[in-house]
Amino acid sequence: MVEHDCSDEHGKSGMASLEYILRNFQFERVLSHDTRTKLVYVLGRVEDKPAILSFERMAYDDKLCRELAARTRGLKDAVENNIYGWAEGTVSFEGAPDTHIKSIFPATELHVSKYSEQARLMVVETPALYENITLPYIQQLPAERIQWVRNILDGTSEADRVIYRQEKEFVILPDMKWDGSPESLYWVAIADREDILSLRSLTQEHLGLLKAIRAAACRLAQERYGMTQEQLRLFVHYQPSYYHFHVHITALSFVDAPGVFVGQAHLLDTVINNIEMYNDYYQRATLPFTIGERHPLYALFQDAQSGE
Ligand code: G7M
């Protein structure tokens, strides 16, 4: 195969730039389309390797709301009934972005199944099932899966976005899902150690870290946006997508933030409290979780159950 010379198209890390991926994307199929959140994932190929792009309609900037009426063009299918009227139209603000775009390239099979339309199912994980199924699954995951985390920790990526760094403890930075508005604040705190795989690893040894993350997140949200602790929701995912310990920091006003639902989110305050009561709470607890039916872990749980 002739290698395409795109040295100037690649970033510092040698990975293809978003611009390059967009220009060379050969569409294959839609993976999923959430018409409520206006988020679509499409699969395609770049340089003959799988690539995933997501396009998400952004909210109107508050400052532009006063111009919405004047910027509306091309009304279609207008209906008027008494005092009510509705139609479809185009509102455009030149130069103002209206879509949040993300790319994964090269994408793995795991990414393709993660972003494909699928049912979510409830799995009940006992400590024994964790030891026999989940832990071996985590241990065989390729190390490159969390390369993005290492890049943040060692400063090779997103260095200019890091909001706070507590040396050898954790960093706090915007989650890639954050649209930048305080009402939908979405930060992530990443522990600067690789031995905490998930909630299952936590014991009293980690209380200092958990409390320091909580204190820093609250202080930073207060300093930057005047938000109080009561306006924040700090939580941990189980199962997470990445088995390197991290805490999600979101504004409570972001009512339907992705991944805040029961069956995946565990409030940090509850986690701290449980560990304070019992050092080995998360090693002894049965933890139900929801998972996509195409997730490889779900297949492993199914195999285990059919073998019972
Ligand atoms: O589901 P889990 O608890 O593992 O959540 C991982 C979080 O990390 C999600 O909220 C992602 O949006 C976020 N995230 C994933 N990646 C690959 C990146 C990244 O490269 N940079 C940043 N800032 N956040 C990411």
Would you write out the chain's pLDDT as a tens digit for each of its 308 residues? 333 333 445 655 678 999 999 999 999 999 999 998 899 999 999 999 999 999 999 988 888 999 999 999 999 999 999 999 999 999 988 888 999 999 999 999 999 999 999 999 999 999 999 999 999 999 999 999 999 999 999 999 999 999 999 999 999 999 999 988 999 999 999 999 999 999 999 999 999 999 999 999 999 999 999 999 999 999 999 999 999 999 999 999 998 898 999 999 999 999 999 999 999 999 999 999 999 999 999 999 999 888 66
- Residue 91 in contact with residue 72, Cβ under 8 Å? yes
Q: Is 246 part of the annotated catalytic residue set? A: yes
Q: What is the pLDDT of residue 12?
A: 54
In this structure, the residue with its CA closest to atom 20 of ligand 1 is 148
In this structure, the residue with its CA closest to atom 25 of ligand 1 is 176
- Residue 91 in contact with residue 141, Cβ under 8 Å? no
Question: Distance between CA 168 and CA 7 in Å, rounded?
Answer: 34
From 108, 138, 148, 165, the mutation candidate for ligand 1 (largest count of ligand atoms within 8 A of CB) is: 148
Structure tokens given for 27 = 């569409």
Q: Which atom of ligand 1 is nearest to the CA of 243?
A: 4
Catalytic residue, chosen from 246, 248, 266, 295, is 246
* Single-letter code of the amino acid located at 168: K
Give CA separation, 272 vs 77, 174, 286, in Å: 55, 23, 17
287 three-state secondary structure = strand
In this structure, the residue with its CA closest to atom 18 of ligand 1 is 176
190 three-state secondary structure = strand
276 three-state secondary structure = helix
Q: What is the pLDDT of residue 3?
A: 31
Torsion, Cα 53 134 186 31, to 10 degrees, reads 20
Q: What is the pLDDT of residue 11?
A: 57
In this structure, the residue with its CA closest to atom 8 of ligand 1 is 175
Q: What is the pLDDT of residue 1?
A: 30
Q: What is the pLDDT of residue 224?
A: 97
Torsion, Cα 266 157 207 280, to 10 degrees, reads 60
Cα of 216 from ligand 1 centre, angstroms: 19
Q: Which atom of ligand 1 is nearest to the CA of 161?
A: 23
CA angle at 109 for the pair 107 and 114, rounded to the nearest 5°: 90
Name the H helices within 11-52: 18-24
DSSP string, 160-188: GG--EEETTTEEEEE-TT--S-GGG-EEE
Cα of 3 from ligand 1 centre, angstroms: 31
Q: What is the pLDDT of residue 61?
A: 86
Q: What is the pLDDT of residue 281?
A: 98
- Residue 272 in contact with residue 214, Cβ under 8 Å? yes
DSSP letter for 8, please.
G
DSSP letter for 109, please.
H
Question: Distance between CA 265 and CA 202 in Å, rounded?
Answer: 15
- Residue 200 in contact with residue 211, Cβ under 8 Å? no
Q: What is the pLDDT of residue 5?
A: 36
Q: What is the pLDDT of residue 13?
A: 62
- Residue 65 in contact with residue 45, Cβ under 8 Å? no
Cα of 189 from ligand 1 centre, angstroms: 10
Q: Which residues line ligand 1 (CB under 6 A)?
A: 148, 158, 173-177, 188, 237, 240-242, 259
Q: What is the pLDDT of residue 14?
A: 72
- Residue 38 in contact with residue 13, Cβ under 8 Å? no
In this structure, the residue with its CA closest to atom 21 of ligand 1 is 176
- Residue 103 in contact with residue 21, Cβ under 8 Å? yes
Cis ω on the peptide bond leading into residue 147 (within 30° of 0)? no
From 41, 241, 249, 289, the mutation candidate for ligand 1 (largest count of ligand atoms within 8 A of CB) is: 241
Q: What is the pLDDT of residue 304?
A: 87
Cα of 176 from ligand 1 centre, angstroms: 6
Cis ω on the peptide bond leading into residue 50 (within 30° of 0)? no
Q: Is 155 left (phi over 0), alpha (psi -120 to 50) or beta?
A: left
Cα of 300 from ligand 1 centre, angstroms: 24
For tokens 């960093």, what's the residue?
A: 171
Cα of 225 from ligand 1 centre, angstroms: 22
Q: Which atom of ligand 1 is nearest to the CA of 173?
A: 23
In this structure, the residue with its CA closest to atom 19 of ligand 1 is 176
For tokens 């970033």, what's the residue?
A: 11
Question: Distance between CA 4 and CA 15 in Å, rounded?
Answer: 13
